[in-house]
Structure 1
Amino acid sequence: MAMDFDGRTALITGAASGIGAAVARWLDERGIARLVLVDSDAAVLARLELRTPCRRVAGDVRDEQLWAELEASEPGLDHAVLNAGIADGCPIVSLDYADWRAMLSVNLDGMFLSLRAALRLMTRSGETRGRSAVLTSSAAGVKPVPMTAAYGSSKAAVAHLARVAAAEHAAQGIRVNAVAPGRVDTPIWTKNAHFQTMVDELGSRQAALDTLAQESTPLGRFASAEEMAGQIGFLLSDAAWNVTGTVLVSDGGNSL
């Protein structure tokens, strides 16, 4: 019963692929009554196959009007997985201010807007206990990693935002936590030019993943999106009723 989501509604951002899509499938398999899925890629979002009734919203998490419209049209919310984000990297001395702002705009401004909307919907009506949110931070927000000034700073701020929200809503029984993944086999890693070059040089996608994992992860492999979904699902569920304001670092030992 602690992992039963029957009768509940969940919001997922960055839902079209990677961890977001894996969480949608995880909740779909566990009886969630309704999903509200948000992603900037309308075509990929439309192809996500789920049995659960879904509202699919194609849009940018930085768009305040998108969240105003969702707040106005949704009757309430039980859970939120706020996962939308982008990644890139270069040395601080080479980082353009426009690129810095773009990264923080998606990863932090978009997180603030989506979290604010989710909390407003959770507190709109009915019993609030049992409601929960999980924000996707990163191991790069825990451990300083060269070439990640904008990304790591945005993700460190996301982790702190989750803790502030947890403190503000604990008395209502609304739990807010964050996860800080290390390297996960998702498009945020595998679509970049460096990874594609490694695939070409090593001859296969799996060889590139294994090489990167051996270089940076003491446990020796990338996590899968499905494994991350299970950890996020636990934090969402009633099984984690006593867990709030925490940042679950799931990075294969990268931050040790």
Structure 2
Amino acid sequence: MTQKLAVVTGAARGIGLATTKLFLRDGWTVAMVDRDAPELEDVAKDLDGVKAFACDVSQPEAVEQLFADVQKAFGRIDALVNNAGVADFGPIEETTFARWRTVMSTNLDGVFLMSQAAIPALKESRGAIVNIASISGLRASTLRVAYGTSKAAVMHMTKQQAAELGEYGIRANCVCPGPVRTKLAMAVHSPEIIAAYHDAIPLNRYGSEDEIGEVIVFLCSDKASFVTGQIVASDGGFESTGIGLPALRS
């Protein structure tokens, strides 16, 4: 059996790195993509079954070259995980157009560019696209006018992809993580914010990178062969409990 190939963006750390390791566990090979070339090379050198590709997914020419390189290296693409993203939190009136565009160029434009470039190969493999949005795209919160809007747009793009690409056997789904216990989150979340999240999340805890990755890998697998056009919140039930918390407003 030919080994399947997943392209994972934002793969140098966090959910992208965790997802890469879960693909490897399940017997896939992985094209790891990130714009942080030194960090990407550092983590990739310890993994068997991967190849690292430095690329800024917001740049059309870079994306075009990336897919040429991936096809040359592997000859196929079975799944694309659009995980690369940036966050910029702040009040609406302080969000400049430059800050807005920085978020949109990676979070939205990058998903569009990567998906468009992958379509020919995914048609051949009847493969899958999984876009990573956020709980912030499912319901409004404070300080997230650019970030939340970009993720809401990614969710709708996923539905467009599912509607148009299904006839080619390509499935498109979207995963919306809730609060995840990453090193960065734990460094910037105050004790008040951590307590507020625990109170608001029905499972009473943050999620882990592996828990998000498991959902992503499932949606790329044959086990999800009749699942497409879906928005899956992996959030401990947070989306069911309402909108933004007072502790997150400053």
TM-score range, shorter chain: 0.7 to 0.9
> Which is worse superposed, 140-149 or 58-67?
58-67
Question: Any gaps of 5 or more consecutive residues in structure 2?
Answer: 241-250
Q: Does 1:70 align with 2:54?
A: no
Q: Deviations over 1:123-166 (max 9, x none)?
A: 2xx4x33x111100111000111111100000000011111111
- Return structure 1 stretches of 4+ with deviation > 4 angstroms: none
Deviation at 1:86, TM superposition (A): 0.9
* Contact 2:158–2:173 (Cα < 8 Å) also in 1: yes
Calculate the aligned-residue CA RMSD, in Å. Answer: 1.9
Pairing of 1:56-135 with structure 2 (within 5 A): 56-73=52-69, 74=71, 75-123=75-123, 126=124, 128-129=125-126, 131-135=127-131
Q: Name the structure 1 match of 2:171.
A: 175
* Contact 1:14–1:38 (Cα < 8 Å) also in 2: yes
Pairing of 1:10-29 with structure 2 (within 5 A): 10-29=6-25
* Contact 1:209–1:222 (Cα < 8 Å) also in 2: no
* Contact 2:41–2:52 (Cα < 8 Å) also in 1: yes
Question: Any gaps of 5 or more consecutive residues in structure 1?
Answer: 203-207
Q: Deviations over 1:224-249 (max 9, x none)?
A: 00011111111111001110000001
Q: Name the structure 1 match of 2:203.
A: 219
Q: Name the structure 2 match of 1:237.
A: 221
1:40 to 24, 35, 46: 35
CA distance in 1, matches of 2:163, 2:40: 33
Q: Name the structure 1 match of 2:51.
A: 55
CA distance in 1, matches of 2:167, 2:32: 28
Q: Deviations over 1:14-37 (max 9, x none)?
A: 0011110001000111111x3111
Aligned residue-pair number: 234
CA distance in 2, matches of 1:181, 1:187: 16
TM-score, normalization by structure 1: 0.85
Deviation at 1:7, TM superposition (A): 1.1
Q: Secondary structure at the match of 2:202?
A: coil
- The residue type equivalent to 2:103 in the other structure is M
Deviation at 1:50, TM superposition (A): 1.6
- The residue type equivalent to 1:237 in the other structure is S
- The residue type equivalent to 2:78 in the other structure is D
2:151 to 155, 168, 174: 155
Structure holding more helix per residue: 2
Q: Deviations over 1:29-75 (max 9, x none)?
A: 1111x3111111112211223221x2211121111112111233313
Deviation at 1:113, TM superposition (A): 0.8
- The residue type equivalent to 1:98 in the other structure is A
* Contact 1:6–1:31 (Cα < 8 Å) also in 2: no
Q: Does 1:247 align with 2:247?
A: no
- Identity between Structure 1 and Structure 2 (%): 36
* Contact 1:46–1:56 (Cα < 8 Å) also in 2: yes
CA distance in 2, matches of 1:72, 1:233: 24
TM-score, normalization by structure 2: 0.87
CA distance in 2, matches of 1:165, 1:141: 18
Q: Secondary structure at the match of 1:112?
A: helix
Deviation at 1:9, TM superposition (A): 0.8
